[in-house]
């Protein structure tokens, strides 16, 4: 039996679940035991991941479920929309699958977010399991129950909070992940340091080369610590009434970059990395953090070979995109700013300050 780390996420109404992290989990019988059954299993994946892993998952699930279907979606952030969501629902309905059906999201954050949303709305809710295969999905998107599709006017604008039954993060699936996608995952790992754990930021700085070299022990630690932090935050504030917003550090500008450039042009993690550098700069301009913190974060992002220079969309376009951000209130754009190393909060930032930061970084 392969070594497995388990992080538990604690939620009201008997909705606690486990995040299992380790090597060989995809092929381990135990990963798939104890889940809801009595209906069919449906694996939702995409044209890149399905040929790599769907057959292995299907074989495992056939020891639990009498029927295991596979829905293969187009690959890419630009397909995180109504058409793909409909494709999942069309399959479920045309096969007359009942509300005991369990969906298995096999892929990165795009597949996880869409499968979770389909699970939330099909027959008003069927169970689903996250099987994340990107670093980003293992450290972030598979945990916490944010599900969504994109809209041309804004990222993740149509969705639901809906928790999975379990998360199975098999570190071995990262072996086939392209380098650019691995680096995108590092962005969300870096995020957890400044917002929640200064010691973890030190650890990332020390171990960045090992992470880039895909050292399994380093990856296992990064995934576990990231999941612990996220599970703790979500356990306190599942529906983002307050604290959970800290997980959006770097995302106000990041989401504007993704939508403004056209989904898929910048990877989510790339846009978040750049957004964190600008949000760090804003934290300094708002008098919360010293200048050396901005430099420290910029240096780390650069070392991870992630972008620090935002695209020149123009200040007005950035402001327009950020006014539809979910954290905005009554037209005021609100940013997650760092207040001290390991502590963050939500702050309304005047447009002039935002324009200053955008201009300094060549985005305006
Ligand atoms: N729900 C949340 O809390 C949350 C958190 C963070 C990000 N997200 C969302 O997640 C999405 C980004 O997720 P992502 O970075 O995983 O991107 P992704 O899902 O697009 O996957 C990245 C690419 O890697 C490929 N891939 C996946 N696993 C692979 C593997 N093991 N081997 C080879 N190729 C593989 C995919 O086919 C895709 O081309 C965004 O839509 C973002 O909004 C959601
Ligand atoms: O789980 C959360 O909460 C997050 O904010 C995690 C983010 O990394 C993620 O990108 C999330 O999808 C963003 O949520 P949104 O509400 O800003 O769309
Ligand atoms: Zn994110």
From residue 228, give the alpha-carbon distance in Å to each of 168, 171, 277: 15, 16, 24
Q: Which CATH number fits domain 179-360: 1.10.10.10, 3.40.50.150, 3.40.50.2000, 1.20.1090.10?
A: 1.20.1090.10
**How far, in Å, is the centroid of ligand 1 from the Cα of 141?**
8
Separation between Cα atoms, residue 299 and residue 280, nearest integer Å: 12
**C-alpha to C-alpha distance for 1 and 29, rounded to whole angstroms:** 9
Catalytic residue among 183, 248, 258, 326: 248
Phi, psi angle pair for 45, to nearest 5°? -145, -165
334 lines ligand 2 (CB under 6 A): no
Q: Is 133 annotated as a binding residue?
A: yes
pLDDT at 111: 99
> Cα(181)–Cα(103) distance, rounded to whole angstroms?
25
Mutate to test the pocket of ligand 2, among 251, 253, 263 (most ligand atoms within 8 A of CB): 251
Query: Ligand 2 in contact with 327 (CB < 6 A)?
Result: no
Residue 106 sits at φ, ψ, to 5 deg, of -105, 100
Catalytic residue among 20, 46, 58, 146: 146
What is the distance between the alpha carbons of residues 22 and 298, in angstroms, rounded to a whole number? Answer: 31
Question: Which residues neighbour 152 within 8 Å (Cβ) at sequence distance 6 or greater?
Answer: 259
Could you give the C-alpha distances from 340 to 8, 89, 174, 201, 343, in angstroms and in order? 27, 45, 33, 13, 5
pLDDT band at 286 (very low <50, low <70, confident <90, very high): very high
Cα(75)–Cα(110) distance, integer angstroms: 9
pLDDT band at 2 (very low <50, low <70, confident <90, very high): very low
The answer to whether 109 is annotated as binding is yes
Give 76-120 pLDDT, tens digit per residue: 999 999 999 999 999 999 999 999 999 999 999 999 999 999 999
Q: Catalytic: which of 166, 221, 224, 244?
A: 244
How high is the pLDDT of residue 3? 79
* Closest atom of ligand 2 to CA, residue 155: 18
- Give the separation between CA 267 and CA 112, rounded to whole angstroms: 16
pLDDT at position 235 is 98
The CATH number, out of the four listed (3.40.50.1970, 3.40.50.11740, 1.10.533.10, 3.40.50.2300), of the domain defined by the range 4-176: 3.40.50.1970
Give residue 119's pLDDT: 99
> Ligand 3 center to residue 269 CA distance, Å?
7
Residue 361 is among the residues annotated as catalytic for this protein: no
Contact 171, 216 (CB under 8 A): yes
Confidence of residue 1 (pLDDT cuts 50, 70, 90): very low
Tell me what the pLDDT averaged over the chain comes to: 97
Which one, of 71, 80, 125, lies nearest residue 98 by Cα? Answer: 125
Phi, psi angle pair for 321, to nearest 5°: -65, -40
- Average pLDDT (327-346) is 96
Q: What mean pLDDT do residues 227-239 have?
A: 98
Q: Is 79 annotated as a binding residue?
A: yes
Answer yes or no: 86 catalytic: no
The residue nearest atom 17 of ligand 2, judged by CA position, is 248
Does the Cβ of 115 fall within 6 Å of ligand 2? no
Residue ranges of domains in the chain:
4-176, 179-360
Query: How far apart, in whole angstroms, are the C-alpha atoms of residue 264 and residue 258?
Result: 7
Tens digits of per-residue pLDDT, 195-218?
999 999 999 999 999 999 999 999
Ligand 3 centroid–CA 253 distance in Å is 11
Q: Which of 52, 141, 273 to mutate to test the pocket of ligand 1 (most atoms within 8 A of CB)?
A: 141
Q: Is 151 exposed, middle or buried (0-12, 13-18, 19+ CB in 10 A)?
A: middle
ipTM: 0.99
| 251 classed as catalytic | yes
Question: What pLDDT does residue 134 have?
Answer: 99
Which 3-state string (H, E, C) describes the chain?
CCCEEEEEECCCCCCCEEEEEECCCCCCHHHHCCCCCCCCEEEEEECCCHHHHHHHHHHHHCCCCCCEEEEEECCCHHHCCHHHHHHHHHHHHHCCCCCCCEEEEEECHHHHHHHHHHHHHHHHCCCEEEEECCHHHHHHHCCCCEEEEEECCEEEEEEEECCCCEEEEEHHHHHHCCHHHHHHHHHHHHHHHHHHCHHHHHHHHHHHHHHHCCCHHHHHHHHHHHHHHHHHHHHHCCCCCCHHHHHHCCHHHHHHHHHHHCCCCCCHHHHHHHHHHHHHHHHHHCCCCCHHHHHHHHHHHHHCCCCCCCCCCCHHHHHHHHHCCCCCECCECEEEEEEECCEEEEEECCHHHHHHHHHHCCCC
Which pLDDT belongs to residue 320? 97
- What would the mean pLDDT of 119-141 be, rounded to a whole number? 98
Per-residue pLDDT of 23-56, as tens digits, reads 999 999 999 999 999 999 999 999 999 999 999 9
Over residues 319-342, mean pLDDT: 96
CB of 69 closer than 6 angstroms to any ligand 2 atom: no
Site to substitute for ligand 1 among 72, 110, 250, most atoms within 8 A of C-beta: 110
- In the annotation, is 146 catalytic? yes
- How long is the chain? 364
What's the 248 CA to ligand 3 centre distance in angstroms? 7
Percent of the chain at pLDDT above 70?
99
Q: Which pLDDT band, with edges at 50, 70 and 90, does 331 fall under?
A: confident
Indicate if ligand 2 lies below 6 Å from the C-beta of 140: yes
Q: Which atom of ligand 1 is the closest one to the Cα of 135?
A: 16
């Amino acid at each position: 039996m392969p070594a497995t780390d388990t992080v538990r996420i604690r939620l009201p109404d008997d909705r606690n679940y486990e995040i299992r992290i380790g090597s060989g989990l995809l092929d381990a019988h135990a990963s798939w035991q104890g889940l809801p059954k009595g209906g069919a299993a449906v694996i939702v994946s995409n044209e890149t991941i399905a040929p790599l892993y769907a057959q292995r998952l299907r074989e495992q699930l056939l020891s639990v479920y009498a029927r295991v279907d596979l829905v293969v979606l187009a690959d890419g952030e630009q397909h995180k929309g109504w058409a793909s969501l409909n494709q999942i629902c069309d399959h479920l309905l045309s096969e007359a699958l009942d509300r005991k059906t369990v969906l298995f999201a096999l892929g990165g954050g795009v597949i996880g977010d869409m499968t979770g949303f389909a699970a939330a709305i099909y027959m008003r809710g069927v169970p689903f399991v996250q099987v994340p295969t990107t670093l980003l999905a293992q450290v972030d998107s598979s945990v916490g129950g944010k599900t969504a599709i994109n809209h041309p006017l804004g990222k993740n604008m149509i969705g639901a909070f809906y928790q999975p039954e379990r998360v199975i993060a098999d570190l071995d699936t990262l072996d086939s992940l392209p380098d650019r996608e691995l680096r995108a995952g590092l962005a969300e790992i870096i995020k957890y340091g400044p917002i929640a754990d200064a010691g973890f930021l030190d650890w990332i700085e020390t171990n960045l080369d090992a992470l880039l070299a895909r050292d399994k022990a380093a990856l296992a630690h990064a995934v576990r610590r990231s999941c612990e932090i996220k599970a703790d935050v979500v356990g306190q504030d599942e529906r983002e009434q307050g604290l959970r917003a800290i997980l959006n550090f770097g995302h106000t500008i990041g989401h504007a970059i993704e939508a403004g450039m056209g989904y898929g042009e910048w990877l989510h993690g790339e846009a978040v990395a750049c957004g964190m550098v600008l949000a760090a700069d804003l934290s300094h301009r708002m008098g919360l953090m010293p200048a050396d913190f901005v430099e420290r974060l910029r240096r780390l992002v650069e070392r991870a070979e992630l972008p620090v220079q935002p695209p020149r969309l123009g200040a007005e376009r950035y402001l327009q995109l950020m006014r539809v951000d979910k954290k905005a209130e009554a037209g005021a754009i609100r940013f997650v700013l760092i207040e001290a190393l390991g502590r963050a909060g939500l702050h309304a930032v005047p447009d002039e300050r935002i324009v200053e930061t955008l201009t300094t970084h060549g985005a305006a």
